[in-house]
Structure 1
């Protein structure tokens, strides 16, 4: 039996949707904070287990009879390393056979500008030291995040202005990552495994602008922004200073090449080429 945490989030939903195509629903357990958000899972016969990453008793109850736990990274950035460690501890005590974790595909954790990303690697280290068999999914930036990064539909009027320089990202769709994760969880492989889930090509924001221009028939330009000015603009738009700093750091890491790595793992798990940039943007922008 597989327990998927964060099961009503977008990645968790993608994983469960794929699992449902391959195994009976009663072999899938969904760990959720709010059962009212799991109506569709209940209707499909998925086992619901309620709790949070801060509740050891709920975690212990949720892991009874579980063979594999998929720990989807928490969204409480300030506390998630501690939360992840608790999940790992409970899994070990509950005699779970394997723990899987959704980490990040970044080149060099020691040179990251966005320090919060280091929490993923701290979690990886804790899992490796736990004695549990593990599977790590190091995920690239979701292609789905591009509209959020560049300003949604306003890009067709104002262009793209982010501090990413000529940095590239091997973008991949969240849905395809979820599909690949589910397939990996069902494999009979033994030992400790690490999958690096990336697209099959890297793209800069110049490429994104060119693709949007071709697809829409409107001229979309990309002008690299200076990080300090970009951060100030975010603050003027009403974002808290700490949030503006995190977003700026995230995009600056792209400029520094942190997300420019290509692995064949996603393609191998999918059994096909991942969706390329233009095809993904057609879907994301309804073009």
Structure 2
């Protein structure tokens, strides 16, 4: 039986949708904070186990009878490493046979601007030290995030102005990452594995601008921005400061080459090439 945390989030939903096509619903469990938000999973006969990362007793109950856990990274920035450690500890006590975690594909954790990402590598280290057999999914930045980064449909009027310099990123669709993760979870590979899940090509924001120009027929220009100015603009658009800071950090790390990584792992797990930039943007912008 496979248990997913964060099962009602976007990545969790993508993974479960794919798992349901591969194994019976009776073999899938979802760990959720609020059962009321899991009605769609309940309709699909997915087993629901309720609790929080801070409730170690609930974690212990949830992990009984579970062979594989997929820990989808939590969103509590201040506490999530400790919370992840609670899940690892509970899994070890419950005798879980494989521990999987959704991490990030980044070149050098020691030089990240977005320090939020450091928690992923702290969690990886804790999983490795636990002695549990593990599978790590190091995911590249979602292609789905591009509209939020560039300002949604307004990009066709004002262009792209982000602090990405000439950095490149091998973007991938969240749905395809979910599919690849599901494929790996139902495989019978033994031993510890680390998958770097990236697109087959990396793209600059000049290329993203050119793709949007091609899609819309409107000229979309890319102008590199100053990070502080960009963060202020995001807040001015109504984004919370923490989100604005996170996005700015993501993009500054792109400028520094952190996400210019190309790995064959996503293509291998999918059994096909990942969706390329223009087709992915067409889905995002419904062009």
The TM-score bracket by the shorter chain reads over 0.9
Gaps of at least 5 residues in structure 2 are none
User: Conserved in 1, the CA contact under 8 Å of 2:149 and 2:247?
Assistant: no
Measured against aligned partners, the alpha-carbon deviations of 1:214-252 in whole angstroms (never above 9, x if no partner) come to: 011111111000112222323444555554333222210
Q: Deviations over 1:152-189 (max 9, x none)?
A: 00000000110001111100000000000000011111
Runs of 4+ in 1 over 2 A off after TM superposition: 231-247
In the aligned structure 1, how far is the partner of 2:231 from the partner of 2:20?
Answer: 43
- Structure-2 separation of matches of 1:16 and 1:241: 32
Matched residue, 2:233:
233
For structure 1, list consecutive stretches of 5 or more residues without a partner in the other structure.
none
Query: Is the partner of 2:148 in helix, strand or coil?
Result: helix
Distance 1:275 1:286 in 2: 15
Residues of 1 paired with 2:174 and 2:157: CA distance?
A: 27
Question: Aligned partners of 2:47, 2:11: CA distance in 1, in Å?
Answer: 18
Query: Which residue in 2 is equivalent to 1:159?
Result: 159
**1:253 match:** 253
Per-residue CA deviation, residues 125-153 of structure 1 (Å, 9 max, x unaligned), is 00000010000000000000000000000
Q: Give the Cα separation in 1 of the matches to 2:38 and 2:241.
A: 34
Asked if residue 14 in structure 1 is aligned to residue 34 in structure 2, the reply is no
For 1:242 and 1:31, the matched residues in 2 are separated by: 26
Q: Distance in 1 between matches of 2:24 and 2:236?
A: 50
Residue 279 (structure 1) aligns with: 279
Query: How far does the alpha carbon of each residue in 1:28-60 deviate from its partner, in whole angstroms, 9 at most, with x for none?
Result: 001111111111111111111111111111111
Counterparts in 2 of 1:266 and 1:86: CA distance versus 1, 3 Å: same
Matched, 1:105 2:105: yes
Q: Distance in 2 between matches of 1:7 and 1:87?
A: 14
- TM-score, length of structure 1 as denominator length: 0.98
Q: Partners of 1:113 and 1:189 in 2: how far apart?
A: 35
CA distance in 1, matches of 2:52, 2:62: 10
Deviation sequence 1:86-132 (CA, Å, 0-9, x none)? 00000001111110000000000011011110000000000000010
Aligned residue number for residue 59 of structure 2? 59
Distance 1:269 1:110, change over 3 A: same
RMSD (Å), alpha carbons: 1.1
Report the equivalent of 1:2: 2
Structural mapping, 1:28-177, within 5 Å = 28-177=28-177
Whether the 8 Å CA contact 2:3–2:29 is kept in 1: the answer is yes
Cα contact 2:133–2:192 (8 A) shared by 1: yes
Quickly say closer, same or farther: Cα 1:238–1:278, change in 2 above 3 A: closer
What is residue 215 of structure 1 aligned with on the other side?
Answer: 215
3-state SS of the aligned residue for 1:22?
A: coil
The 2-side partners of 1:242 and 1:34 are apart by 24
Task: Name the CA distance, whole Å, in 1 between partners of 2:204 and 2:224.
Answer: 11
